[in-house]
Structure 1
Amino acid sequence: MRRISKIIVGLSIAFCGLNSASARSATDAEVKMLSDATNNYATALQTSNFDAVLNAIPPRIIQTLAAQSKVDQEQFRQIMVNQMKQLAQTYKVDKITISQSKKSAGEFKDGTPYYIIPTDFVITTINGNNKNQIKGELVAILDNNQWYFVRGDDATTISTMSEAFPGFEEIKLSAPEIKPIK
């Protein structure tokens, strides 16, 4: 359960910079889909729409994590929703900026395209005593004609992502910058 919690935090709250010259360019339609998907994702995080946040995680990741946890995918999804609800009792996402104009493209070993997109979150504790700005990157992955999102620079997240998307481990994820806001 503790491992799942770390992964949830990595996928839900934490965050890479890479530009790959060999990656295929996204079509205009795919870029439009990415814009819509990032807007929907930001809204889901700000409104604590846990089903939408969960649906933004690549199915390959859900499958991998469920197998690692030795539970079926539906049980795993419920565990994730419950943990996101617990986080929401402590933290609120006040603001999200996803800087699509600064995105950089890449491609995994299997040809799956992705973008690294700078993000800026403002998160407040529910009691309002602590407010932090978190700058990092979001990895947007185009899989089966849909954009999905992951964040995380810890070893567990990278290992899980690499199992589902071979080549993810080659992305050099930078640690998020966290600074208190007074």
Structure 2
Amino acid sequence: MLKRLLAAASLVAALAAPALAAEFTAEQLEGLAARIESFDAAMQASDMSEVMDVVPPKVLDQIAAKFNVTTEQLIEATQQQMDQVLKDVNIVSFGMDLEAAEFLETADGTPYALIPTETVIDMGEAGGKQKASSSTLGLLDEDTWYLVRVEDAQQVAILKEVYPAFADVEFPTGSMEPVTE
């Protein structure tokens, strides 16, 4: 009976490992808050080079390699695409709720944060206002925080390629709904 109890406890611990809370120092949490603040400012200014600065370099390099361009060319092309999109779409609001974030770790102990994120866009007569609710991955790579959209399946696939610790992590899906005033 004791062996079965120990085996069951071990199984529960193994299954729960990816969902265990991670602990961060006050300095690390301040770094995450500063990173979110700089990202928010870049989003409001539609500055894609600054927005792309929060994406892990390993992810950017992998995306660039897939398109056979340099990372700099990728950032420039993204800025051009965003400029084009923003001609027809207005970002009404954007925010990450750090106070509601979940601090977790992968099965191998890699710490990360899932930060609730909300974006409201106005697509004018073509689509009105829409609210996107999602989570943003806060990834601490060495001493630097990076932010990754996890509702985009392609981006998650690339993330898991370059950060194998996340291979078994299931990220929450996002949602989009019309805003009625």
More helix by proportion, 1 or 2? Answer: 2
Q: CA deviation at 1:138?
A: 0.7
- Asked which structure has the greater CA Rg, the reply is 2
Alpha-carbon distance in structure 2 between the residues aligned to 1:109 and 1:20:
5
Which letter maps to 2:35?
A
Find 1:29's aligned residue among 6, 27, 30: 27
Q: CA deviation at 1:163?
A: 0.9
Residue in 2 that maps onto 1:54: 52
| Alignment TM-score, normalising by the size of structure 2 | 0.79
Find 2:150's aligned residue among 143, 149, 152: 152
Residue in 2 that maps onto 1:10: none
Which letter maps to 2:37?
N
Residue in 2 that maps onto 1:163: 161
Q: Identity of aligned pairs, percent?
A: 25
Residue in 2 that maps onto 1:93: 91
1:88-112 deviations in Å (ceiling 9; x for gaps): 2222221123111111123356754
Alpha-carbon distance in structure 2 between the residues aligned to 1:160 and 1:81:
20
Aligned-partner SS, 1:62: helix
Is 1:137 matched up with 2:131? Answer: no
Which letter maps to 1:92?
N
1:58-99 deviations in Å (ceiling 9; x for gaps): 111111111111122222222222222222222222112311
Contact 1:108 1:165 in 2 (8 A): no
How many residues were matched structurally?
Answer: 165
Alpha-carbon distance in structure 1 between the residues aligned to 2:19 and 2:173:
24
Q: CA deviation at 1:149?
A: 0.8
Contact 1:65 1:160 in 2 (8 A): yes
Alpha-carbon distance in structure 2 between the residues aligned to 1:114 and 1:126:
36
Q: CA deviation at 1:55?
A: 0.6
Deviates most, 94-103 or 118-127: 118-127
Find 2:103's aligned residue among 77, 102, 105: 105
Is 1:69 matched up with 2:67? Answer: yes
Aligned-partner SS, 1:123: strand
Unaligned runs of at least 5 residues, structure 1:
1-17
Q: CA deviation at 1:142?
A: 1.3
Which letter maps to 2:144?
Q
Alpha-carbon distance in structure 2 between the residues aligned to 1:54 and 1:43:
13
Alpha-carbon distance in structure 2 between the residues aligned to 1:76 and 1:111:
32
